[in-house]
């Protein structure tokens, strides 16, 4: 199992309390600072980040479809792909002290617009800068970002993808790179435009519904991969944990399988996926989970060794668990999906895990709370 850092060292959820398990990364997400710190952890194989293309054709790294700033008594919102590169880079901290920066705001999950502040800040950046300034040993998972609310013409998709590919071809050199996208047509087109880098299809694994029927289940994702000759799937972790046979279907189809989502910030949930045969996890608690995964191959779940690599960390399921014990764990997986609510209405996932000794003689049941989207 390999570990990837979500937007670097983890995403920023505005309003998240310091030390929260999700959304409280110290570094501003999708920046050179965050990528560089992820690269310093030997057990982190890659970082995942979101790439969009500005109006003047420059691939930049930014997650949200819209960028927000504060004006005189008002909040101003612009679509990222409608900005020129110079305009985009004028938001947030500036590389040159002589330039005036626009404050960055972000919309919270409840609709409030809040100041987007981080403990350790950095400037927004381009894809080219990431290739030039981040350690070449760190892999890049480039998510091709498109707005779900827009119907894109084929020529517009192709123009954006070609702009991304030009930067990759010129600057990737020997760096491991793979693409992913929630947009089925973009994934298909990227596969058609080049054959050097793997293309994976992103799916929520049936945890939400979309107008595009290709996006509504894990089985739909498998069909998309087989029809478009894609290399694998990146699924929301819940889509795999509530449907363990998904791993077998991916393996039978010779597809790589990675997962993302808040449950990947709980090492027990990652350990279950490791036993199931998931190839990689994208996480926010980068240091904690990468160290834990490094320990899995040592037969010591949760007791990772700082700086340990993940190469060769694959062991057969039977090494720590019998098939009977593994089956018992999988029958507990629906507990991971059970929802409950705090008094303020914020949903939480109740994660219950059975911890078994290797000889199966001792067991204990624990519970972990993880905030949902």
- Cβ neighbours for 150, distance < 8 A, ≥ 6 positions apart: none
Lowest mean pLDDT among 100-104, 194-198, 347-351: 347-351
* Structure confidence at residue 321 (pLDDT): 46
Q: Which one has a higher pLDDT value, 359 or 256?
A: 256
Tell me how far CA of residue 272 lies from CA of 109, 180, 313, 340, 372, in angstroms: 29, 24, 15, 22, 19
Structure confidence at residue 309 as a pLDDT band (50, 70, 90): very low
Model pLDDT, residue 306: 37
Locus of tokens 């054709």: 57
Position 333 scores a pLDDT of 54
For 234-244, the pLDDT digits (tens) are 999 999 998 88
| Average pLDDT estimate for 101-119 | 91
Task: Kindly state the average pLDDT of the residues 134-158.
Answer: 97
Tell whether 289 is covered by a domain: yes
Per-residue model confidence as pLDDT tens digits over 244-267? 889 999 999 999 999 999 999 999
Q: Is residue 195 part of a domain?
A: yes
Whether residue 326 has pLDDT greater than 90: no
Q: Is residue 341 part of a domain?
A: no
Q: How far apart are CA 281 and CA 100, in angstroms?
A: 39
pLDDT at residue 314 is higher than 60: no
Q: What is the pLDDT of residues 268-301, one digit of tens each?
A: 899 999 989 999 999 999 999 999 999 987 666 6
- Position 91 in a domain: no
Q: b/e per residue, 120-135, with b = 16+ CB within 10 A?
A: eebbbbbbbbbbeebe
Which CATH number fits the domain that encloses residue 244?
Answer: 3.20.20.190
| Contact criterion met (CB below 8 Å) for 201 and 162 | no
Domain membership of residue 142 (yes or no) is: yes
Residue 324: pLDDT band (50, 70, 90) is low
Identify whether 193 is part of a domain: yes
- Say what percent of the chain tops pLDDT 70: 78
In a domain? residue 315: no
Query: Tokens standing for 10?
Result: 């983890």
Confidence of residue 356 (pLDDT cuts 50, 70, 90): very low
Question: Domain range for residue 218?
Answer: 2-63+123-298
**Higher pLDDT among residues 150 and 357, named by residue:** 150
- The answer on pLDDT for 195 being more than 80 is yes
Within the chain, where are the H helices? 32-39, 85-89, 127-133, 154-171, 184-193, 218-228, 237-241, 245-252, 267-276, 286-296, 323-332, 334-337
- Rounded mean pLDDT of the chain? 84
> Is residue 179 domain-resident?
yes
Task: Count up the domains in the chain and report the number.
Answer: 1
């Amino acid at each position: 199992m390999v570990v990837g850092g979500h937007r670097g060292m983890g995403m920023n959820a505005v309003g998240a309390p310091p030390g929260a398990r999700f959304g409280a990364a110290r570094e501003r997400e999708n920046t050179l600072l965050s990528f560089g710190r992820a690269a310093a952890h030997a057990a982190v194989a890659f970082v995942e980040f979101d790439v969009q293309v500005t109006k003047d054709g420059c691939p930049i790294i930014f997650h949200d479809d819209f960028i927000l700033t504060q004006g005189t008594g008002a909040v101003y919102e612009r679509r990222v792909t409608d900005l020129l590169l110079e305009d985009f880079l004028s938001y947030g901290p500036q590389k040159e002290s002589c330039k005036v920066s626009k404050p960055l705001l972000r919309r919270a999950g409840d609709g409030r617009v809040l100041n987007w502040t981080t403990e350790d800040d950095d400037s927004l950046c381009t894809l080219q800068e990431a290739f030039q300034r981040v350690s070449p040993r760190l892999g890049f998972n480039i998510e091709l970002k498109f707005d779900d609310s827009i119907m894109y013409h084929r020529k517009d998709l192709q123009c954006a993808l070609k702009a991304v590919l030009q930067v990759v071809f010129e600057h990737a050199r020997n760096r491991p790179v793979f693409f992913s996208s929630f947009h089925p047509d973009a994934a298909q087109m990227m596969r058609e435009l080049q054959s050097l880098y793997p293309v994976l299809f992103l799916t929520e694994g049936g945890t939400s519904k979309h107008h595009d029927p290709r996006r509504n289940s894990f089985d739909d994702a498998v069909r998309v991969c087989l029809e478009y000759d894609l290399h694998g799937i990146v699924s929301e972790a819940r889509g795999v944990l509530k449907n363990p046979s998904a791993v077998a279907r991916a393996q039978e189809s010779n597809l790589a399988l990675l997962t993302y989502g808040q449950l990947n910030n709980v090492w027990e949930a990652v350990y279950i996926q490791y036993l199931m045969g998931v190839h990689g996890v994208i996480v926010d608690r980068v240091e904690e989970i990468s160290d834990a995964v490094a320990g899995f191959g040592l037969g010591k779940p949760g007791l990772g060794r700082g700086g340990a690599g993940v190469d060769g960390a694959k062991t057969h399921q039977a090494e720590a668990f019998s098939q009977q014990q593994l089956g018992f764990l999988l029958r507990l997986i629906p507990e991971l999906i059970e929802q409950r609510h705090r008094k303020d209405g914020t949903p939480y996932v109740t994660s219950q895990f059975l911890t078994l000794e290797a000889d199966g003689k001792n067991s204990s049941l624990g519970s972990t709370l993880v905030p949902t989207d």
